[in-house]
Structure 1
Amino acid sequence: MRDKTVGSQRSKLTDIMTRQPIVRAYELRQEGIDPPTISRAVKAGELVRISRGLYQRADSDIDTLQVLAEASKKVPRGVVAMVSALAYHDLTDQMPRKVWMAVSVKDWSSSTPSYPPIRIVEFRDRYMQQGVEHHMISGTRVPIYSVSKTLADVFRNRRLVDRSVAVEALRATLDQRKATPAMIAEAAMAGDAWNIMRPYLEALTSNG
């Protein structure tokens, strides 16, 4: 009877990891997978423990998008933001070494996971709620700020993001038509970045 239970859990674990290459231990427990089954899968080389409580299917390749999914799992109240959000939206050539995650002041913690490397940025509650989108990455629903919201954030936080990076992202947004000038302006006003962004947006749109 025990062998049948173990086999059933192992089969269920395989099904879960096929759908979702990155998963937290507590999510597996919620699905009825006990810790010994997880440990056996790790010893068998089917799972890789990439950090405490976080596992990845052994035959799945790590890429930049999967790192966003992992970061989202490690900071469940955070939102992918700033340069990482620009990179996700293909608005910058910058490849951040850490995943930029915004958290509200009340959720801030001085400790961050060793993997994946994460850079925490504190946002006021009203900034946290603006422009959040959800994208499915490796079976994980990852919160990422929208294009317009991210532009507002990088212009507002000029001490964190170089102005040249923000301006190039704004130009790329307009060139690729990922947001209209009106959408960008509205987000900038809501995000207290309009006075900073306005001359750049007007200069880039003055010829049409």
Structure 2
Amino acid sequence: MPDSHAQRVLALLDQQGLLRSSDLDAVGVPRVVLTRMRAAGLLEKVGRGLYRRPDAKASEHETLAVVATKVPQAVLCLLTALQFHELTTQLPRQVWITMPRGSHIPKLDYPPLRMIQAAGEAYSAGIEVVTRDSVPIRVYGVAKTVAECFKHRNTVGADVALEALKEARAQRKATADELWRYAKVCRVANVMRPYLEATE
């Protein structure tokens, strides 16, 4: 194994935290190098076609980093976004993601996914990009997440939506104007109005 190949792989890992086997194409490294590096103890396999350094510290965000790396179009939403923003006491058993309408559910060995589809502004508005474990993760901001919980209240529970709204206001993580804006984007302005007025 030429040292330059291994060095390029490790440099890429340092840059992005997690590595897909397809990422090697961009740096001109044959994929067989991954197998050799793994055998030599230089790489650790995290999931199908996904690698990291063996000494990398796994954080609480590792599963989210795995999803972000394997499914770049995915945006963390609903219960997963609430947990990310520390607005709920619930621990979702699946990673909740929003994908563009018409997408197929991504095939991942781990973690289990729950997919919502959206189009236009309902998909694109309110996306924030945050870096965890050197991986850029797309997640809906607080106000959009709260509005989405009201939109999908039959799925996540009306109590979850109300808790999210109260916590967002109590922790000052979203203004009334921001919540109102995303209530309109998610077409739940009439549903949210009485609760928004009660928290002002």
Q: State the TM-score, normalizing by the size of structure 2.
A: 0.92
State the alpha-carbon separation in 1 of the partners of residues 105 and 127 from structure 2: 24
Are 2:28 and 1:32 aligned? Answer: yes
- Show structure 1 runs of 4+ deviating over 3 A: none
- Aligned match of 2:90: 94
What do residues 48-91 of structure 1 show as CA deviations (whole Å, max 9, x unaligned)?
22222211222223333121121122222221111111111111
Structure 1 residue 7 corresponds to structure 2 residue 3:
yes
Counterparts of 1:58-97 in structure 2 under 5 Å? 58-97=54-93
Q: Which amino acid aligns with 1:174?
A: R
What SS class does the counterpart of residue 153 from structure 2 fall into?
coil
Which residue of 128, 139, 145 maps to 1:144? Answer: 139
Equivalent residue pairs, number? 200
Whole-angstrom distance in 1 between the partners of 2:121 and 2:170: 29
Find the counterpart in structure 2 of residue 192 from structure 1.
Answer: 187
Indicate whether 1:128 and 2:123 are aligned.
yes
CA distance in 2 between counterparts of 1:181 and 1:170 reads 10
Q: Tell me the amino acid that sits aligned with residue 181 of structure 2.
A: E
Contact map agreement 2:105 2:115 (CA 8 A) in 1: no
In structure 2, list runs of 5 or more residues that go unmatched: none
The offset of 1:28, in angstroms, is: 2.4
Q: 1:89 to 1:111 in 2, by over 3 A?
A: closer
Contact 1:50–1:115 (8 Å) recurs in 2: no
Whether contact under 8 Å (1:148, 1:183) holds in the other structure is: yes
- Counterpart code for 1:167: L
Distance, in Å, in 1 between the alignment partners of 2:60 and 2:84 is 9
Alpha-carbon shift at residue 110 of structure 1 (Å): 4.6
Percent identity over the alignment is: 32
The residue aligned with 2:169 is 174
> How many angstroms does 1:111 deviate by?
5.2
* CA RMSD, 1 decimal: 1.7
